[in-house]
Amino acid sequence: MNKRKYIINLLLAMVALLVGCNESLEDTYSDYAGDGKIRYVAKCSDLDIVPGWERLILSWVNGTDATIDKIKVAWMFEGQRDSVYLPGTATSYELTNLVDGTYQFYVSAVDKFGNESLVETYSGRPYTRDHELMRSFSRGILKSFFVNGKMIFFSDQYSANIVEIKLQYKNSGGETKYYEFENPSSYDALITIDDVSMNPADSVYILRKGTLENSPDTVVLDPVTINRKKNFSAGFVHAITARYGYSTETQEKEDAFLEFIENVEELELDYSIESLEDILFCTNLKKLVVGKNRHFVSKQVNSQDKSLILKSPEKSYAILEKAAEADVLGLKVDYYGHNTVSTMHYFNKVYPFMTYMGYSAVPDDLEIIPASALKENENGDKVYCDVDDVYMDWDALVDGNVATAWSTSTQQEMRIYEMYMELKETTSIRGIKVTQIQTASDRSARYFMPEMIVAQTSADGAVWKDVTFLETNELGRALGEATLLKMPEGSRDVRYVRLTLRDGIDLSGNWACRLGDIVLYK
């Protein structure tokens, strides 16, 4: 009997449990507290935020609860709070006129009694002028030149987030005109716009429209004014300083540099340079001469003979062709050195506006000061140096004969040679001739030829002055190549000479130095 009663009670308990489980299937939240059941409104879910231009667009999914009366959207930004109530069926909201920053949002459902669901939170940041993505939009123009009524510029590569780019400018008559970029012909190209005002006061503007990442908005970007200031590459400035002495170190020197650039009609370049683009800044340039001051005594070809365009050669070639057009500069180019395309200075081919000038010989008006004019030290050497190396023959360095090479022993570490010469009497000299070794019998010798030399002179041994416009001078590295370090003032009274060289390194990691000679001339 007791067993039967137990079974009946067990069955009743199971029924009650099933009824309780069925009630939990409702789309509500419930628990038991105090005197009875508390019912919560179904929350919103899947909250998402899409950024737009100075706006944020919220969306969510409402709960399946017939008691929902309103949707509450609240937000917080920089400590300030605000909120809005929307109809119970609303599934999105847009907050506009926003400034840059991160906004925190809170979305919940509310019934007619004011009971609020659990809160769904999310954060978002709108696109504004201060957003870093604004800086990622291509300006369309990489470098521009204003020459003889034309605007010439390199355009950027096509960018998928750009919807439209056009230039607004004024022509010579003061009328406002537009140049519209077309894909792909206007991108990654050298573009010329004819009849552009050369008045610096007539600004050229870049007008752009673009799409925003993960956003439905297209934005009109702020106009960009093209700066007409000449933006020179560091390599071009260095080449001008080395050859002509003009620099941009101070405002006063920069003004003189610009005056030279704007008026120069013939320009000489000799050594490797990052780009030839800047020649279009020389608006009166008629002739470009390359390699004239590299004196190739030997005509043997090696990889170190060639001066290179170190960045974007094709752009440099395009600029040369453009500059050669009669209505741009009408530029002519003279080039010295090798005439084989693979080894000629800078260029990848011979253009119609180019003239080959052969090899540049050492000028025949140099009056070499003989070694006998140098004072010997206590060891009988005409060159003084702290580096002690039994292989070094100092007489071979100053004898004026490149066939007698000055050589050092190979070492595992680089050495710096600070050398001194003293003339027996103060002498007026025009410069110093430095010549690389001429023999090719030592295959590793080309690695040991010095690339640079520091050259200074003094009349009293106390005050020293750079021989050229620069303290450190580049040396040509062809076999037998002579480099002339010329005095900027024409000639100078000299009693003492100070020279600094350093070792080169071969493929085996050995350090040494090889040189033909160093002689003074007047």
In this chain, the answer to whether the domains covering 137-225 and 371-521 adopt an identical fold is no
- In angstroms, the Cα distances linking 88 to 70, 104, 139 are 4, 21, 46
| Structural contact between residues 447 and 514, judged by C-beta atoms closer than 8 angstroms | no
Diameter over CA atoms, the chain:
141
The pLDDT of residue 301 is 59
| Distance in angstroms (rounded) separating the CA atoms of residues 56 and 50 | 6
| Boundaries of every domain in the chain | 40-124, 137-225, 239-356, 371-521
Instruction: Name every residue whose Cβ is closer than 8 Å to that of residue 3 and which is 6 or more positions away in sequence.
Output: none
| Structural contact between residues 435 and 482, judged by C-beta atoms closer than 8 angstroms | yes
| Distance in angstroms (rounded) separating the CA atoms of residues 7 and 19 | 19
| Distance in angstroms (rounded) separating the CA atoms of residues 371 and 395 | 8
Task: Report the candidate in 375, 451, 452 with the shortest Cα–Cα distance to residue 420.
Answer: 375
Fold of 371-521: Jelly Rolls (2.60.120)
Tokens 């050092």 sit at which residue? 408
The pLDDT of residue 484 is 97
Instruction: Give first-to-last CA distance, the chain, whole Å.
Output: 137
Tokens 């620099």 sit at which residue? 247
| Distance in angstroms (rounded) separating the CA atoms of residues 77 and 294 | 67
Tokens 């200031």 sit at which residue? 229
The pLDDT of residue 303 is 63
The domain 137-225 having CATH identifier 1.20.58: the answer here is no
- In angstroms, the Cα distances linking 366 to 397, 456, 496, 519, 520 are 18, 19, 20, 11, 9
| Structural contact between residues 155 and 191, judged by C-beta atoms closer than 8 angstroms | yes
Q: For the whole model, what pTM was predicted?
A: 0.82
| Distance in angstroms (rounded) separating the CA atoms of residues 193 and 483 | 43
Task: Give the H or E element holding residue 262.
Answer: helix 251-263
The pLDDT of residue 16 is 40
The pLDDT of residue 379 is 85
Beta-sheet strands, E only, within 66-102: 68-77, 80-87, 92-96
User: How do beta strands 332-335 and 287-290 pair?
Assistant: parallel
What stretches in the chain show pLDDT beneath 70?
A: 1-39, 298-304, 440-441
Task: Report the candidate in 269, 86, 34 with the shortest Cα–Cα distance to residue 94.
Answer: 86
| Distance in angstroms (rounded) separating the CA atoms of residues 521 and 428 | 9
The second-level CATH assignment, the architecture, of 40-124 is Sandwich (2.60)
What tens digit of pLDDT does each residue of 119-167 get?
A: 999 999 999 999 999 988 999 999 999 999 999 999 999 998 999 999 9
Task: Report the candidate in 30, 26, 22 with the shortest Cα–Cα distance to residue 117.
Answer: 30
CB atoms near residue 433 (< 10 Å):
22
